[in-house]
Amino acid sequence: DAGVTQSPTHLIKTRGQQVTLRCSPKSGHDTVSWYQQALGQGPQFIFQYYEEEERQRGNFPDRFSGHQFPNYSSELNVNALLLGDSALYLCASTVLTRDTQYFGPGTRLTVL
């Protein structure tokens, strides 16, 4: 039973560029959430996708957008990258009717 997977593992970008991160949920899960974890901090909720729609959004600017595909996998897009976007980006999946979110290994984004 495959867990949550994320790609790529690491990514280096420069300011102003755009980036796409990918996530495949755990088998049987239909809901994907994205979190940003800055160094030394707890994860911060970005948004959640269910049935290919954004269901809930945290306090992040519109530069952060996402998508969910029919197979429940998801992408996180960040435009006009800032130095402050450097962080570990975590994807978590769950089944809508349940509460426990299972996390992927994360993508470490460095913005230079």
Q: Shortest Cβ distance from residue 95 to another protein (Å)?
A: 12
Nearest residue (CB) to another protein, 16 versus 61: 61
CB 66 within 8 A of CB 33: no
Q: Whose CA is closest to 60, among 39, 87, 40?
A: 87
CB 58 within 8 A of CB 45: yes
Interaction of residue 13 with another protein, rule CB under 8 A: no
* For another protein, the closer CB: 7 or 17: 7
Alpha helices for the chain (secondary structure H): none
Smallest distance from the beta carbon of 56 to another protein, in angstroms? Answer: 5
Q: What are phi and psi of 83, to 5 degrees?
A: -55, -35
**Residue 44 in the binding site for another protein (CB under 8 A):** yes
Neighbouring residues of 9: CB distance < 8 A, sequence distance ≥ 6: 105, 107, 108
Task: Tell whether residue 56 is a contact of another protein (CB under 8 A).
Answer: yes
- Is residue 22 at the binding interface for another protein, with CB under 8 A as the rule? no
Chain residues in the site for another protein (CB under 8 A): 33, 35, 37, 41-45, 48, 55-56, 58, 88, 90, 92, 99-106, 108
